[in-house]
Every structure is written in structure tokens, then in C-alpha cells.
């Protein structure tokens, strides 16, 4: 191992430009804040919304998946950071992340479920 090779997430490759390392770190932190926002949103739905008439489980159906997804986002963000950092160290193209697609999909599903809960509540 040469002096240029230092230990990183993968313990391989060379130290990349610090600006790229900083950018990767900021991306991870941004996803972390997104994860915290999802947790708070889920908690807010459960605690702050008034109960849906006729749908007593409505708040938990909406809130609990948001909280769970917040934890998933935090773990996935770390995985993304490790993969990106490894690609930077090896000089390879950055891998594509599924997280933006996943976030959009989950929010869409939650919105649809929210609409259903509201409709069911209104009909009862």
C-alpha cells in the first residue's frame, strides 16, 4: 500500500478531492434531515391530527409507515454514502441512487392512503 492509499469506507483506492468528499457528506446529511422530517411527520399525524370519524385506525395507518420509512431512509443514506465514497476513491462513475425514486413512491402511496382514509371517514 502506497502513501497515497488511505483507509476509507472500503479501505481501498486513493483519497478523492476533499470537495467531493464534503459534497458526499452534505448529501448524506440532507437525507438524514429528510429522515428526521419523515419521523416528525409520522409522529405529528398520530399525535396532532384529530381522529378520523369512523376510521379509528386512520392516523396510525398514515403515521407509522412514515416513521418506519424515516428509519429506512437513514440507513439507506449511509449505504449511499459508502457506495459514493468508494466510487470516488476508485475513480469510478457514481452509482445511481434509488432513494429519490423510493421517496417519491412512498410519499405517493401515503398520499393515496390518506385520500382513501379521508373518503372512508366522510362516507361513514
Task: Kindly list the residues in this chain that would bind other proteins in the complex (CB under 8 A).
Answer: 2-4, 6, 8-9, 14-15, 17-19, 21-23, 25-26, 28-30, 32-33, 35-37, 39-40, 42-44, 46-47, 60, 63-64, 67-68, 70-71, 74-75, 77-78, 81-82, 85
Distance between CA atoms of 56 and 58, rounded to whole angstroms? Answer: 6
From the CB of 114, what's the least distance to other proteins, in Å?
16
**Which C-beta is closer to other proteins: that of 85 or that of 87?**
85
From the CB of 119, what's the least distance to other proteins, in Å?
23
In 10 A of CB 101, how many CB atoms? Answer: 10
What value does the CA radius of gyration of the chain take, rounded to a whole number of Å? 20
From the CB of 123, what's the least distance to other proteins, in Å?
24
**Which C-beta is closer to other proteins: that of 82 or that of 120?**
82
Residues of 3-18 as b/e, b for ≥16 C-beta within 10 angstroms? eeeeebbeeebeebee
From the CB of 118, what's the least distance to other proteins, in Å?
20
The Cα angle at residue 23 between residues 74 and 106, in degrees rounded to 5: 35
Amino acid at each position: 500500500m502506497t502513501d497515497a492509499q488511505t483507509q476509507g469506507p472500503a479501505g481501498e483506492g486513493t483519497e478523492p478531492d476533499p470537495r467531493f468528499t464534503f459534497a458526499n457528506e452534505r448529501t448524506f446529511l440532507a437525507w438524514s434531515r429528510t429522515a428526521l422530517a419523515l419521523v416528525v411527520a409520522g409522529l405529528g399525524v398520530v399525535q396532532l391530527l384529530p381522529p378520523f370519524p369512523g376510521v379509528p385506525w386512520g392516523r396510525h395507518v398514515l403515521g407509522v409507515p412514515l416513521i418506519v420509512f424515516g428509519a429506512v431512509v437513514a440507513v439507506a443514506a449511509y449505504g449511499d454514502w459508502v457506495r459514493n465514497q468508494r466510487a470516488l476513491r476508485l475513480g469510478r462513475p457514481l452509482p445511481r441512487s434509488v432513494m429519490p425514486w423510493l421517496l417519491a413512491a412512498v410519499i405517493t402511496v401515503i398520499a393515496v392512503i390518506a385520500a382513501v382514509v379521508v373518503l372512508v371517514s366522510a362516507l361513514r
